[in-house]
Structure 1
Amino acid sequence: MEHTGHDDRHAHTEHAHGGAAAGTSWGTAARATLHCLTGCAIGEVLGMVIGTAAGLHDASTVVLSVALAFVFGYALTMRGVLRAAVPFRQALRIALAADTVSIAVMELVDNATMAGLPGALDAGLPDPLFWGSLAFSLALAFLVATPVNRWLIGRGRGHAVVHAHHH
């Protein structure tokens, strides 16, 4: 039987779960990381914009960004799981299992990068340094989190738990 589109990716992912991390494709890991990064980036950018516009202390801005990254990251995963008619509490547990490690790695890399780039957190919203630093830090977070997600998926963890609920 020939599979196409999502069914083909789903079948490949299920096959990869049974083997070692080496059996998990980099494409599968990159798609999972990109999914996580989308929610992370929405929360991270929103937190940085709110914190910078409100003149919050750097630490307060980072805390707000991290909190919003987790909220949006979990929300995006839950949206898809809830569409599969999974009850809310179970969907929340699935999102926590699927995204916590990935989001934590991305937030650690992203915020350490932003804090380590001279002037990045102090740059105003119209400053290209602010936006360039944020884009660079998110790209770096993606690069670091992808092998982590590949390892997790290869062991049936991380985003692997979500795929059982996609139809």
Structure 2
Amino acid sequence: MDHTAHRQHHAHHDSGASWRTAARATLHCLTGCAIGEVLGMVIGTAAGLHNAATVVLSIALAFVFGYALTMRGVLRAGVPLPRALKVALAADTVSIAVMELIDNTVMVGVPGAMDAGLPQPLFWISLATSLAAAFVLTTPVNRWMISRGKGHAVVHRYH
């Protein structure tokens, strides 16, 4: 077996799929998600919305802000708006979905967290914990996607 060809083939599949790259992609995604998630939780809690409505609002805003953050960089690279939207959808949909599944499961699963008021530490500690858990559990997903040329690997073509 030609070991040089094997190493080159292996390097090709692993290019950009380091844990550091995955963590950076996840942190980028988490930034947009966290803005939307926190805003949704704050609005829902302050407005006294039902827990389900608050979660739906948080998820919707997480997707909006997550996509917007990615699109901002792609648009700066001179990509037209329709193409930038397609890039953001390809880059972030799975990552945001996994992140939202995890952080909302944590928020709903912590007794009293969704019913705690904004001034109560339980609300903020639960929210911070949910976002940290989402980061930790989404990073391997992003690493796997990047190693296959998916997820944030799509965005890197425009940097």
Give the TM-score normalised by structure 2.
Answer: 0.92
| Length, aligned pairs only | 151
What whole-Å deviation, never above 9, does each CA across 1:96-119 have from its counterpart, x for those lacking one? 000000000000000011000000
Aligned residue number for residue 41 of structure 1: 34
TM-superposed CA distance for 1:18, in Å, is: 2.8
One-letter identity of the residue aligned with 1:18 = H
One-letter identity of the residue aligned with 2:91 = A
What whole-Å deviation, never above 9, does each CA across 1:52-76 have from its counterpart, x for those lacking one? 0000000000000000000000000
Counterpart of 2:64 (choices 71, 88, 96) is 71
Secondary structure of 2:140 counterpart: helix
Secondary structure of 2:13 counterpart: coil
> Where do 4+ consecutive residues of structure 1 move more than 4 Å?
none
1:27-106 alignment, distance < 5 Å: 27-106=20-99
Residue identity over aligned pairs, in percent, reads 77
The alignment status of 1:19 with 2:8, answered yes or no, reads: no
Supply the RMSD in Å over aligned alpha carbons. Answer: 1.6
Give the TM-score normalised by structure 1.
Answer: 0.87
Q: Distance in 2 between matches of 1:80 and 1:108?
A: 25
Q: Distance in 2 between matches of 1:54 and 1:104?
A: 25
Asked if the contact 1:17/1:154 (under 8 Å) is kept, the reply is no
Unaligned runs of 5+ in 1: 1-14
Radius of gyration: which is bigger?
A: 2
Q: Distance in 2 between matches of 1:55 and 1:67?
A: 18
Aligned residue number for residue 147 of structure 1: 140
